[in-house]
Every structure is written in structure tokens, then in C-alpha cells.
Structure 1
């Protein structure tokens, strides 16, 4: 086979091979599209979680304190938390894009895109994987003077306000969830992991990447339960709940 025939058969890959791969490198080189958070910054996108699950109505909130989080508006749940720079939006905006962004830094996965507030018949009842039967309906959000969102949604006949802010010094985040009205047998799942250990006034979660503290713990009476080999940290959802998620490292 002569060289001309070889290129007809092998195509561009053969040419790139003879040129030391430089054509491929040139073709695939893409300048990353980085979103910085020089002030409180919101970006809507798809966000992918472990196990291949995609959050289709994700809102990522970036802070100049370099602590950022992603909120799943379909379920009223925090799903990611990380330190460092904010977002890589290259997958969303380069070429035709796929609508997704990803954290710039090692993110802690806080949730698995399931409703965080649910009704449980007993403490042995498993959490559902979707909002069926809850009447969950997102109602958008408002922004405070600093540009931070307060999410609003309806669930189990309650109107809920849900706000998260970065703790001074970048130790983690503080979340406040408040219902308007009351309902029976509702629980808020703060964490789900292989292990949850109560130590020195904190709940140390899973691989110990983060801990949770609950304000007014004596009144709210958090519960650690084991379901199908997984531990869950629950709080009865009868009134306003304030808790913090703190980095351990």
C-alpha cells in the first residue's frame, strides 16, 4: 500500500501519528470557562452526582469566602459543598454544551437528589426516592441584600422557607429551614452515611470529611437511625430548624 492509499484508509489518525499527535492536541485544546465568585454568585445548570445521577434543576451558590454549595430545587435539598474556586462551566458553554457545570475542588456530596422532608409512619419507614404524595412544589426564591437566596416551596401542605449562608471564616455553612404552619410525622433528614458518630457536641458524618451541629438540640431531639445498613440523622420537622455543616479538614 502506498502512502496516499494508507491515508485514505487510516484517515486523520494516521496523519496525526506521523506528526507526533500535534494535530490532535491542537484540535482538542479548549480554554476552560471558569466562573469566579468575587461576590455571592448564583448559577443554574445540570450537576452530576456520584452514581451517575443528574440534578436537572441545580442552583450553585458561590461565595467570596471560597465556600460554595449546590441546591437541588426539585427536592429542596443541599447536594454538594466544597472549598476553593467556584465552578467550571466548560461542559455547559463550550461548543453545543450539555448544560452541566462542575465544582472546582473536591466536593462533599451531602445529598442524593431525594426529598429531604418526608412523612414517616414510624421510625422504621424508609424515605421515598421522589416527591410522590408530598405535594412538593418549588416556589422560587428571593435574594437578600447580599445576593443570597432564600428558597421557597410547598410540601405536605406547608409553606417552607429555606436559607443557607457561609459561616464567617469559611468553616462551613449554616442553614435555616422554617415551616409556616404545622403537620404531623414530618422529618428532616440532615445526613445519610455508612456511619454517623456523635462526638463532642457534633455528629461526625461518614468518612469524617464533615460534621453537623444542631442548634437547640435538646429541644429538637435529633435521631440517628439505621435503615438497610445506612445511618440517617433525622430531626422532627415541627418548627424552625437551624444547623451547621462544618468541614473537618
Structure 2
């Protein structure tokens, strides 16, 4: 037993003198090399598959995980798709890793990690024939965060009546009864997302606008599109419906 311990100690001293230590390998590729799978050859450079379970430190101080030839202070190679996991309490879905001026990193929320959201617009739409708000069968579902909601649609009058009317669009959290959503950021936008005139003597017009919405909750929230005319006796057909050539409803994330 003593002779075995002496032999192991002697080998370790020799390795240290040579400047290389290998665990589970007789062929270390750096000053410290762990072959956790014990699957490397006794000579030559391990294959990429063999390096997959290796940990290597070079004389330069570079550390390789999954590679025996790191080219940075920390070089990770993984074929599993999950090469790095940092759990510090700030992690979350769609967070990105950012550093401060001293190089300390943490997870933060960023618009770069969030996608544009498309709304649901109808094949057919309600008809505006009174001064009361009408639900347009259109809605958009927004995750938590700040959003610019954008709407545009052709307005088609039922006739070329010589009458002028203003058409107003707004968002509500209900599809059955209208009230302006409380999530509008009034420091950035007004209460209504779009307004347009239905001019006298013309059958067509176009409405477009933007509304800043802040979903300060923790879950996705639905916002429903309503519209009304403010004056006049104009009848508007096909708002946001497939019968018009131009229509859109989407939201882009903002900080």
C-alpha cells in the first residue's frame, strides 16, 4: 500500500515539475486537464467528441469547457444547446445579460429580446352609424412591458353623403362595454389611438394612429379596439375588415 502511494506521489511530482496535471488522462492538453469521461486517447489531440466532457486550463490562464484549446478567458463548447446558466435572481424569460461600467453582469429586460406583436383583425367589422363607441371585433394581446400600439385602416362611407364626421379609435380592456383602458401612458400619448375625418363628398378616408400602452402586470393582457363617430350622420362600413385594402394592428416594444 505504501509503495502504491509513493508511486502515485512520485508521478504527481513529475507531472507538476513538467507543468502539466491530467485527471483521467495520460495526455493532458494544458497545465490542468480533466477528462471526466476518461475517453481521450493516450496521445495526440482529443477529437471534438472526446473534448466534449473535458475541462482544460492553459498556461495563458484561458479555461476551456468542452474544448482543450480555449481561445478566451472562458471558452465553452456545447452541443446540447445549453452551454451557460446563470441564476442570480434577476433571470427571467427574454432577459438579456448586460454589464455595468465595472464589468459586473446581470440579467435585464430589453426591447431587443421582445418581438413585435400582431393583433387580431376581423374578416368583417361593425358598422358605425351612431355617436356611441362600437367594438370592432379587433384586439391585441400584450405581455408585460411598454408598447406602442399602431392602427391603420381605410374608412369606407356607405355613400358619398355631403356630411363630415370625425372617427375616433380607442382601446378598452373589455369587448362588451367600453371604457378607456387605464394602461395608457398619458405622458407619451393621448387617450385615443387614432382619429380621422370622413370628408364631405368623398367615399374614402384613412385613419392611423399610435397609442403608448404600459402593461404593468405580470401576465399577458388583452386590449380591444373600439371606435365611434363624434358628430355628423355618416355611416362607416368595413373598418379593419378584409373588405378594405389597407389595415393593420400591431405593437412594438419600447423601453
Q: If the length of structure 1 is used for normalisation, what is the TM-score? A: 0.23
Structure number with the bigger relative contact order (C-alpha 8 A, sep ≥ 6) is 2
The structure where strand makes up a greater share of residues is: 1
Q: If the length of structure 2 is used for normalisation, what is the TM-score? A: 0.22
Computing the radius of gyration over CA atoms, which structure comes out larger, 1 or 2?
Answer: 2
